[in-house]
Chain A
Amino acid sequence: MDKPFAITLKPGSSLANHTGSWRTTRPEYVDRLPPCNAACPAGENIQGWLFHAESGDYEKAWHALVENNPLPAIMGRVCYHPCEGGCNRQHMDSAVGINSVERFLGDEANKHGWKFAPAAAASGRRVLVIGSGPAGLSAAYHLTRMGHKAVIYEEAPLAGGMMRFGIPKYRLPREVLDTEIQRLLDFGVELHLETKVTDVQQTMKDGFDAVFLGVGAHIAKRAYIPAGDANKVLDAVSVLRGMEDHDAPLLGRRVVVYGGGNTAIDVARTAKRLGAEESIIVYRRTRDKMPAHDFEVEEALQEGISIKWLSTITEAGMGERGDDIMVEKMALDENGFPQPTGEFERMEADSVVLALGQDADLSLLENVPGLVVDKGMIEIDAGMMTGHPGVFAGGDMAGNERTVTVAVGHGKKAARAIDAWLRGEKYAPLPKPELATFDRMNPWYYSDAPKTMRPVLDIIRRQSTFEEVLGGLDETNALFEARRCMSCGNCFECDNCYGVCPDNAVIKLGPGKRFQFNYDYCKGCGICATECPCGAIRIVAEEN
């Protein structure tokens, strides 16, 4: 090159200068576990499906959701959403309404008739699933996805377990339940109704390679209450089950429910809807000790249910017509346990409904060797297998945490373990990535946005009908709600790292492809990690 006067060197680019050699720490992209996902008993990848909902691609969002849970329209109604309890957004304003978006997606799928993605190639293996509650349905679904033939034997005339014979209609309309179950049957799950299994080992001989037990817990616990007229004392499970029959149960004008769980609340609310003038819950302890969820207690109180705290029923069916009961006042001792006070009160009650919990009926397992039953619950290992090889169990019969969501999670986990077992392997869950805690995030970047309120049905209507209490979101507010998600711990392609690097050392790979560091020039200043809104970059020490 002919250089101008007094110029001796050719101009060069600073790209020759690899400033990456200055680095003592290096940034790395990570995917952390969002707290919502960590808290979901069904193991949903919530952040993952919200990501698609954020862009308005609800079908993709639904497909991402049902990879873990085939019942979103049901879950969007009955799940107690522990995910929202974990959601990082609560440290900003309030948790993302995950459950309401889930319901919206489930309803969209039902409206448009979306189908599950095709299952894996058939393996030729057959698995018996006993019970069509959420545990059984979930296990059958995941087994089918993996290519196995899942066959459900169900004792009842209709599928769904406690979702049908327990949870009242005003919280879970039966069309929703039917639609999601039908989708599973269309997918290839085989269902035999009115088929009670009385001897597992015998039934296994019908050509099954493994069995999943999801028989739930249906035997009502009784408390000994002396009763002149025993007909007046009913149990909650049969009352609620009776709601599915042609003739609704006769409870009378004044109904007393004994217990403090969600079932007690549901029965009391059902009694009110059946026309009881007074529906009263009698509970031994105080409100803060009550196992029922606060929002359910609140809804019940709003509907005019009254609750007698610190009270036990000592006698029922008293008096000439047998419609009096005796209630004793309790007091909490220093350990928080209720103790009798000797103070009595006589109350009128056309019926007394006991809602004191349920035990599992394990008679079908009587002669299976190796099974361990502890306090009425079947013991299982980390892979959901009982003491008898090839016999797996989950749901209400296998745990203290008895919810639809836990049952769905059990079913999924068991399906994976059964799949491994059928291949002669042992199921080992993938190690979980570290938690995306709020202190790893940079909340500055998120727009201010309070939670969308779900429309609550008019209070009068819900006292007299079995119409659904909680309304759903529509397109606009579902999108709004989804976009409140901060994508904790997982890159959502906001371009911040690409923008804020003073050294141009972040390569943008294009939509959907995320980013990459150019370690030739990255000096390791760490601005990218500090300014990443969702905490998807970590800084690690450079090895010399």
Chain B
Amino acid sequence: MSLQPVKFYQTGTFTVGNRLLAPEERSVQANMQRTNSLNSGHRACQGCGEALGARYAIDAAMNATNRQLIAANATGCLEVFSTPYPETSWQIPWIHSLFGNAAAVATGIAAAIKVKKQKGQGGDVRVVAQGGDGGTTDIGFGCLSGMFERNDDVLYICYDNGGYMNTGVQRSSATPPAARTATTMPLGPEPGNVFGQGKFVPAIAMAHEIPYVATATVADLRDLEYKVTKAMGIRGARYIHILVPCPLGWGTASHDTIRMARLAKETGIFPVFEAEYGEVKSVLAIRRPLPVEEYLRPQKRYAHLFGKSPAVATIARIQALADKNIRKYRLQARQGGH
């Protein structure tokens, strides 16, 4: 008889909760008393990955800091859909200033808390800054790099949906190659975003050699919560980059949001890893390897690749990028992985 692991749970830790697990082994999201930092009634689109990712991340941060948390938010969907004056969905202290300065605002708050603590006022309150990919990789990048370089005690969370979604899906430096936006080539031999440009900010953050950098997706809740919790246990500058599918900007069905994030990870399009002081420490291995078509085909922003004659060469280039990620981050499926 083959040897069986004694501990086996129907769904292991893939699901949000699991009635067979001890309560302390369940996710923050499984808890009936979770903060619901981003509450119901927000105006995000149906199936918004950003709204989901933000609640996942901030609930985990609230849980990790004993609810002593302040958030600074860049302009973008997350801010606009959550806080149309005078209403807000946030159930935590939260501030919005400008599109490009969230990192600097958070730095200021962290400094103020530090001073207050030195004066013996107030407890140990922690700070997160958050923004979209536009607010992070483009307009807010200077402030962010400064925050890293000064090693300010802030966790910066970027919700990457691959474009300026709030203003109608314009290209950002995080828009992937070949994806169509309102500001990329609509027609011609190679419509959509160009190859070879753009930035992968997690790698740039690592180059700053800050204590902690991680990527995550809304498809792996346990991993996301683990990383936010770990980040809140560290002092200094930390950065988490979360892939959050946008049904509107990607042209995907509202019910496929998590599925799309899962496909991004399983195809190798989006590497999920964590790094300390510039070194990759662990990766989330691929569980069921898939070709990139599986990820591209359901998205209308890639529809031009699957016309009457499929853009084989372009798809192959995207596959090559995914393969490179798999090589570089060692994402190959392995037995008994994560």
Closest B residue to A56 by CB, please name it: B20
How far, in whole Å, are A530 and B261 apart by their CA atoms in the complex? 13
* A14 CB–B CB distance under 8 Å: yes
Which of A39-47, A242-250, A258-266, A475-483 interfaces with chain B? A475-483
Chain B residue, CB-CB nearest to A498: B16
A520 contacts chain B at the CB level, 8 A cutoff: yes
Contacts of A10 in B (CB 8 A): 86
Cβ of B87 and Cβ of A530 under 8 Å apart?
Answer: no
Contact flag A17-B41 (CB < 8 Å), given A55-B19, A530-B256: yes
Interface 9-residue window, one of A291-299, A332-340, A445-453 = A445-453
- A530 contacts across to B, CB distance below 8 A: 255-256, 258-259
User: B254 contacts A483, CB within 8 Å?
Assistant: no
Task: Tell me, in angstroms, the Cα distance from A450 to B4 when the chains sit together.
Answer: 9
List A contacts of B39 (CB < 8 A).
13-15, 504
Whether A498 contacts B29 by the Cβ 8 Å rule is yes
Q: How far is the CB of B238 from chain A (nearest CB, A)?
A: 24
- A531 at interface by CB-CB < 8 Å: yes
Q: Assess whether B14 is in contact with A444, with CB atoms less than 8 Å apart.
A: yes
Partner of A502, one of B20, B48, B88: B48
Interface residue B55 (Cβ < 8 Å from any Cβ of A): yes
**A453 — which chain B residues lie within 8 A by C-beta?**
1-2
- B10 and A493: CB pair below 8 A? no
| CB of B159, distance to nearest CB on chain A (Å) | 12
Q: A495 contacts B46, CB within 8 Å?
A: no
Pairwise interchain contact A521-B20, C-beta atoms closer than 8 A: no
CB neighbours (8 Å) of A207 from chain B are none
Interface assignment of B184: CB less than 8 Å from any CB of chain A: no
CB A523 to nearest CB in B, in angstroms, measures: 4
Q: In the assembled complex, how far is the CB of residue A178 from the closest CB belonging to chain B, in whole angstroms?
A: 29
Q: Most chain-A Cβ atoms within 10 A of its Cβ — which of B12, B18, B88, B255?
A: B255
Q: Is the interface of A mostly helix, strand, loop or mixed?
A: loop
User: Which residues in A have their C-beta under 8 angstroms from that of B9?
Assistant: 447, 483
B86 near A12 with CB under 8 A, answer yes
- Flag if B85 contacts A9 (CB, 8 Å): yes
Q: What's the Cα separation between A498 and B59 when bound, in Å? A: 14
Q: A492 contacts B10, CB within 8 Å?
A: yes
B26 at the interface (CB under 8 A from A): yes
- B221 contacts partner chain A, Cβ-Cβ < 8 Å: yes
| A12 and B82 alpha carbons, distance in the complex (Å) | 12
Nearest residue in A to B221 (C-beta to C-beta)? A499
Q: How many residues of B contact A (CB 8 A)?
A: 54
Also in contact, A499 and B17, with CB within 8 A (given A14-B42, A527-B254) = yes
By a CB distance below 8 angstroms, the chain B residues around A11 are 86-88
Q: How far is the CB of B171 from chain A (nearest CB, A)?
A: 25
In the assembled complex, the CB of B95 is this many whole angstroms from the nearest CB of chain A, namely 13
Contact A503 B16 (CB under 8 A): no
A22 within 8 A of B: yes
Give the contacting residue for B87; candidates A14, A483, A494; CB below 8 A.
A14
Q: Which of A1-41 contact B (CB under 8 A)?
A: 9-19, 22
Contact call B8/A520, Cβ cutoff below 8 A: no
Contact A504 B36 (CB under 8 A): yes
Say how far A5's CB is from chain B's closest CB, in angstroms. 15
Report whether A446 and B10 are in contact in the complex, using a CB–CB cutoff of 8 Å: yes
Q: Is the CB–CB distance between B32 and A527 below 8 Å?
A: no
Q: How far is A241 from B43 in the complex, measured between Cα atoms in Å?
A: 76
- Does the CB pair A510–B10 fall under 8 Å? no
| Binary contact readout B1-45 vs A (1 if CB under 8 angstroms, 0 otherwise) | 110111011111011111110000011011010001011111110
CB of B121 to closest CB in A, whole Å: 21
CB contacts (< 8 Å) of B43 on chain A: these are 14, 17, 19
Q: Does A485 contact B (CB under 8 A)?
A: yes
Asked if B16 and A523 make an inter-chain contact with CB atoms under 8 angstroms apart, the answer reads: no
| Chain A interfacial positions (CB closer than 8 Å to B) | 9-19, 22, 54-55, 444-447, 449-450, 452-453, 455, 476-477, 479-480, 483-487, 492-496, 498-505, 508, 510-511, 518, 520-521, 523-527, 529-531, 533, 539
Apart from A15-B41, A16-B41, A504-B40, 18 more pairs, CB < 8 Å: A11-B86, A12-B88, A14-B88, A446-B11, A479-B8, A480-B8, A485-B10, A487-B10, A495-B26, A502-B51, A503-B40, A521-B40, A521-B41, A527-B47, A527-B257, A530-B255, A530-B259, A533-B11
23 contacts across the A-B interface (CB closer than 8 A): A14-B39, A14-B40, A15-B41, A17-B41, A17-B42, A17-B87, A444-B262, A447-B11, A476-B4, A479-B8, A492-B10, A494-B15, A494-B16, A495-B17, A495-B18, A496-B17, A499-B27, A502-B257, A503-B51, A504-B36, A510-B32, A526-B254, A527-B52
Q: Chain B interface (Cβ within 8 Å of chain A)?
A: 1-2, 4-6, 8-12, 14-20, 26-27, 29-30, 32, 36, 38-44, 46-49, 51-52, 55, 82, 85-89, 221, 247, 253-259, 262, 288
Closest 7 CB pairs of A and B: A495-B17, A499-B16, A526-B255, A14-B41, A525-B47, A521-B40, A9-B86
